[in-house]
Chain A
Amino acid sequence: MTKHHVSATINGEPAEFLCEAQQTLLDVLRDGLNLTGSKEGCSSGDCGACSVIVDGRVVCSCLMLAVEAEGHAIETIEGLARGTKLHPLQQKFLEHAALQCGFCTPGLLVAAKALLDRNPNPSETETRYWLAGNLCRCTGYDKVIRAVLDAAAELRGA
């Protein structure tokens, strides 16, 4: 099977990879680039565990073909912290105990970052609707929402 050559930016660094035409971005991230922080929960775009940011927009990487990444900037959970300095969202998730099993957490954090990038002061309702595409079965979302709102406040310097 012919492989396609793709050049993209992943977590701020130039990246190149070879992929087959039918491979999803999630397949390549996890199996090709060993970025297993993006999780596969459904392969149908329903659970959000594979959320990544592509040019500023949240995308289910299981629904995007890897070849479509050509020339685009992709942010994954692995790029959220700066070295060993956690992003405020990550820190607030820990402080609020906003994760139990932690499997949906990377997707939730990526989606929440995209929210705060465009809306630094979301209401609880806005946050709930923004994160409605990220399923969590453990927490009932209570502490997740509190963590996101608290991180937003910290990022605003409030």
Chain B
Amino acid sequence: MNDIVQQFKWVGTRPIRPDGVPKVTGRALYGADLTMPGMLIGAILRSPHAHARIRSIDTSKAAALPGVKAVVTSADFPERKFEYVGPERVAVNFWHMTRNVMAREKVLYEGHALAAVAAISKAVADEALALIEVDYEVLPHVIDVEAAMKPDAPLLFPDMITRGVDPAPTKPSNISKRIEYKLGDLEAGFAAADEIVEMEFKTAAVHQAYIEPHGCVARFDADGQGEVWSSSQGHFVVRALTAQLLGMKIGDLRVYPAEIGGGFGGKTVVYVEPVATMLARKSGCPVKIVMSREDVFRASGPTSGSAMRVKIGVKKDGKIVAADGEFKYQAGAFPGSPVMNGCMCAFSPYDIPNARTVGYDVVCNRPKAAAYRAPGSPISAFAVESVLDVLAQKLGMDPLQMRLKNAARAGTQMLYGPKLSHNGYAETIEAILNHPGYKTPLKKNQGRGVASGYWFNGGGESSATVHVNEDGTVVVATGSPDIGGTRASMAIMAAETLGIDYDKVRPIVADTASVGYTHVTGGSRVTFATGIAVVEATKKVINDLCARAAMTWKVDVEGVIWENGHARPASSNVGDFEPLSLKEIAAKRALTGGPIGAEAGVNPGGVAPGFATQFCDVEVDPETGKVTVLRYVAAQDVGRAIHPSYVEGQIQGGVAQGIGWALNEEYIYSAKGRLDNPGFLDYRIPVASDLPMIEAVLVEVPNPGHPYGAKGVGEVNICPPMAAIANAIDRAVGRRLTELPMSPPKVLAAIDSGTETKAR
């Protein structure tokens, strides 16, 4: 797929998104916006305890309340087999998932769902929840990851034996898995180092904090057919998971994509859809469930908090000779933190001959972690990129020059196995080095910090259909929910490939019965993988259009080429025919074979990873410890920007989330293991007045694995900000912060400690 065209009419332009008008007029329908005749409202009973055995649940009073049409508990859901399925990095275990959706033997975190009702109104449903009697045996709980790893910690699962340790431990623990990656000779590497820095870090659990709570409507008919409308990052995955948890055949469930009000990874899993579907099945009525904001914080996936130790050794000239990291990530109540990603990404921007990462996946009494933008990578990047800054200061080197000296390039052996397939990292460093702002002088209490990041980016299965209408307009249907402008990029690629105008292409997101399987909008994969499906389907349509022109001209199909939206004779030898436009061919489709359309399903290789390098200027208020971000510049290798505005938007959004992660956001638990800040007042994400303009620098090193050179752009931008800001704070006030968030009390305490924090 090396047919990269150099001159583009649409790729790289900034047309208005096709779904824009409904979204600025309030007409777009999100998860909570659909209403059906006879619809009931569902509500979910949640545990007030962090850890308790469920002795019994009595729902009889709730079921008897007038207006209540169905009550469900875990007893309604079939037991699932205990096995990890799918690739290890994203493996799921339905034995765990069914228990997360509806608790069985125990509740494992405050907010854990354990019963649900459907009633004629929200008020009746809430009244019914209050009538459900649960007999709990409250158990000791554990919140902190290191406390959960101790031998005497309360166990969430009495039979959990750590995977990945040989020989297997004989005693159960909360450590679900240990993983290790090794390259070269670590001891020899450190022995050869001139400077070694080793530091410990902690990060807090943070939530994706999409503004739209999870919401869906489900119906289930007497013929066993179910339908779900939900806001998710992937309606095919909602279908698969819901069918699995209800014991349904996939073909008996149809899922429609509502518009999605943000996901960032957190809407790649199911919480309410299986419950609403089960309530619909029991009641015979459509059921809507919308989570409250409190429930979103308490019971949907944040990303892991962590405890980490990173040690890096360098030569005097700045060359890294050895790197070692230990990463302990909270999985929440069920196994599956992104610690494997953290271990894989940690040192990946760099060419390091001797390296090791060790990771621990640790369960504790918190909601189960869900994916969050480059899951796992920002956490380990905070530690690694902080240590590199300390080393650069010790060596008196510019931190970007140090990164450039060690930058991984195409062919570099990576710690986790493969060789790096593409360039792009060094180019992002150079973009920041050459940025005029990087050299501007700063004032007292101000500092400049830099950091980089790595993310795999994703490929995966995608489908698209392309249909030519009788007037020459085109409909492009894909299975990828549009969270950030991907309808626009699909239309751009189809228009570019067909050689027609952007506004002649209508892109839609089709339901699970109307287009082929398409994996989630996640992993920065849509413009890459679904984009390839769109281009492939479009090429099939072009072949068909050429065949119809050949039929019209009574020539061989090999004699027809497609150019600028027209079928033309390939040469004068073919004959002297006026080119036929798409519109002209479409108008005569009935005479040339009927409807014109094609589908493509792909699972493409050729994924190129994402690299980001960023700098920020901060000012620290020595009186309050408040950190103000004065300037933020973020460079990212985007391959080729299909719609640059939405690429910039991804970068700006990722940086803003990273700033929140760095300075404010954290899950705060009481001594009883209850979340103290399950709302936007106390879990404070950045607001407009907290941030400066965020300058996105698009570095374009085209990906030969994509017809227009695209690389995933959505995620890697969130990897650098935490370290960039910590590094800037250190350079502003001489204090090295190693715990997130770097909120005013922590910064003030560091300043007031009177001594500059030294690395060990």
Residues of A within 8 A of B (CB): 30-31, 34-44, 46-47, 49, 76-78, 80-81, 86, 90, 93-97, 99-106, 109, 125, 127-129, 131-145
New contact pairs (6) apart from A36-B33, A97-B643, A142-B694, CB-CB < 8 Å:
A38-B26, A41-B261, A46-B681, A96-B645, A97-B645, A99-B23
A105 and B681 alpha carbons, distance in the complex (Å): 20
Question: With contacts A36-B26, A42-B293, A47-B211 known, is A139 near B687, CB below 8 A?
Answer: no
Q: List, sorted by A's number, 22 A–B pairs whose CB atoms are closer than 8 Å.
A: A40-B213, A46-B680, A77-B25, A77-B26, A94-B20, A101-B210, A101-B262, A101-B484, A102-B261, A103-B259, A103-B261, A109-B24, A125-B689, A129-B689, A135-B211, A137-B209, A138-B483, A139-B656, A140-B686, A141-B656, A142-B648, A143-B649
**Chain B residue total in the interface (Cβ 8 A):** 59
Residues of A within 8 A of B579 (CB): none
Q: B484–A138 contact, CB under 8 A?
A: yes
Residues of A within 8 A of B485 (CB): 97, 100
Restricting to B203-262, which residues have a CB under 8 Å from any CB of A? Answer: 208-213, 259-262
Q: B653–A42 contact, CB under 8 A?
A: no
B657 CB-CB contact with A under 8 Å: yes
Residues of B within 8 A of A39 (CB): 30, 32, 211-212, 261
- CB of A89, distance to nearest CB on chain B (Å): 8
Residues of B within 8 A of A43 (CB): 292-293
* Least CB separation from B208: chain A residue: A137
Report which of A38, A106, A134 forms a contact with B688, defined as CB distance below 8 A. A134
Q: A140–B259 contact, CB under 8 A?
A: no
Restricting to B1-56, which residues have a CB under 8 Å from any CB of A? Answer: 14, 16-17, 19-21, 23-30, 32-33, 35
* Least CB separation from B717: chain A residue: A140
Q: A135–B30 contact, CB under 8 A?
A: no
B668 CB-CB contact with A under 8 Å: no
A42 and B296 alpha carbons, distance in the complex (Å): 10
Main secondary structure of the interface of B (DSSP, over half): loop
Residues of A within 8 A of B260 (CB): 101
Main secondary structure of the interface of A (DSSP, over half): loop
Residues of A within 8 A of B483 (CB): 100-101, 138
Q: A86–B649 contact, CB under 8 A?
A: no
Question: With contacts A104-B211, A135-B211, A141-B688 known, is A37 near B27, CB below 8 A?
Answer: yes
A102 and B652 alpha carbons, distance in the complex (Å): 16
Residues of B within 8 A of A144 (CB): 688
Report which of A77, A103, A127, A131 forms a contact with B212, defined as CB distance below 8 A. A103
Proximity bits, B285-308, A CB within 8 Å = 1, else 0: 000001011000000000000000
B679 CB-CB contact with A under 8 Å: yes
Report which of B21, B679, B685, B691 forms a contact with A94, defined as CB distance below 8 A. B21
- CB of A141, distance to nearest CB on chain B (Å): 4
Q: A140–B656 contact, CB under 8 A?
A: yes
